[in-house]
Amino acid sequence: MSEHPAYQEIINMGTKIVPLLLLELKNNPLYWLSALSAITGENPIKPEQRGRVKQMASAWIEWGKNQGYAIEDNV
Q: How many CB atoms lie within 10 A of CB 24?
A: 16
Give the structural domain span for 19. Answer: 5-66
pTM: 0.86
Residue 30 within any structural domain of the chain: yes
Spatial distance between the Cα atoms of 61 and 69, rounded to a whole number of angstroms: 9
CA 44 to chain centre: 10
pLDDT at 21 over 60: yes
Per-residue pLDDT of 39-73, as tens digits, reads 999 999 999 999 999 999 999 999 999 999 877 76
Under the banding of pLDDT at 50, 70 and 90, the label for residue 2 is: confident
Residue 39 within any structural domain of the chain: yes
Per-residue pLDDT of 23-41, as tens digits, reads 999 888 888 999 999 999 9
Residue 13 within any structural domain of the chain: yes
Residue 22 within any structural domain of the chain: yes
Spatial distance between the Cα atoms of 50 and 68, rounded to a whole number of angstroms: 24
Residue 31 within any structural domain of the chain: yes
Spatial distance between the Cα atoms of 43 and 19, rounded to a whole number of angstroms: 16
Question: What's the structural domain count of the chain?
Answer: 1
The DSSP symbol for 66 reads: H
